Amino acid sequence: MKKKPKKTRKPALRGRDYLSVDDFSAAEIRSLLALTADIKAHPKRYRSALTGKMMALIFEKPSLRTRTTFTVGIKQLGGDSLLLTPADINLGKRESVYDVAKNLERMVDGIMIRTFGHDICTGLAHHASIPVINGLTDLEHPCQAMADIFTVIEHKKNLKRLKLSYIGDGNNVAHSLMLMAAKLGTTVFVATPEGYKPRQDVLDRAVALARESGGQVVWTADPVEAAREADMIYTDTWASMGQESEADERRRIFAPYQVNMALFSHAKEDALFMHCLPAHRGQEVTDEVIDSPNSVVFQEAENRLHAQKAIMLELLRD
């Protein structure tokens, strides 16, 4: 009897963009998290997975972790990368987003962009026929959220029994973390000053996602309420890139939201401290917390490499 040829599985995410956490379903995120774990545990299995693939890395903002992890990650998968800075492109000024997209789709296999306006990222994805990955915009930081949740799983396992508390500015990191955790059924508390809440549309979307997943999303102006019995406390810089002129005012407003030992003591004894880095020690977090045994910030940074390798692999492989 003649054997039927085996069906080859088409990667579910092949050719897709990753601009927002909301681009992937909860099942797709879980699949990527499982792949991240396997890549981290068995890196040699994947060293030729993207042989011949080329990523264009566009940086409109400075970077340590994003640049290093994408550059190293694609090389560890057998591919290569091309760095493009404002001096090379100057998006929207020297060349339009449309023209950049139509050029790059003919020359490379995928694009990672780290920029300011989220509309630049979505415009690039709209016009380019190749996958586009958001390495950070003012609205979201979805690759960071993937690494963050993977780090939580490494330590805490069951996401649905956890309280994750974000304390500080309701910025792009807060947006993506909130959406990711809500999709996966985690209870999320976000504590910010009244005038620095997450964007209302993002907050509403996270609440709706949590309702579907069995999780919960709560905004509060009280950092102690957020920290109380938390399994993880997360913070980020009070003034993001482009907000330097507001730094002094923000330091005054956010002072009660500093993650110090007094605030951290309200969390569970084995609570994790998380930060996407770079950290402004003595501002949003004290040395005593970030250097404590509870801190997983450098493991979290390393996991950017593994999570982004999983994302690139699923979007780019044949």
Is 304 an annotated catalytic residue? yes
Q: Which of 236, 250, 258, 283 is catalytic?
A: 236
C-alpha span between 304 and 297 (Å, rounded)? 11
Q: DSSP letter string over 52-93?
A: T-EEEEEESS--SHHHHHHHHHHHHTT-EEEEE-TTT--BTT
Q: Which of 17, 76, 109, 114 is catalytic?
A: 114
Q: Which of 187, 255, 173, 181 is CA-nearest to residue 215?
A: 187
Q: Which of 16, 175, 205, 304 is catalytic?
A: 304
Is 161 an annotated catalytic residue? no
From edge to edge, which strands make up the β-sheet containing 54-59?
Answer: 80-84, 54-59, 110-114, 132-136
Q: Which of 65, 76, 144, 306 is catalytic?
A: 144
Q: Which of 17, 148, 169, 276 is catalytic?
A: 276
For residue 137, the surrounding DSSP H or E stretch is none
Is 144 an annotated catalytic residue? yes
Is 236 an annotated catalytic residue? yes
Write the CB contacts of 240 (distance below 8 Å, at least 6 apart in sequence): 138, 169, 171, 172
C-alpha span between 55 and 186 (Å, rounded)? 33
Q: Within its chain, how far is the Cα of 294 from the centroid?
A: 21
Q: Which of 141, 250, 275, 306 is catalytic?
A: 141
Q: Within its chain, how far is the Cα of 30 from the centroid?
A: 15
Say what angle helices 297-316 and 26-41 make with each other, to 10 degrees: 110
Is 141 an annotated catalytic residue? yes
Q: Which residues are catalytic?
A: 114, 141, 144, 236, 276, 304
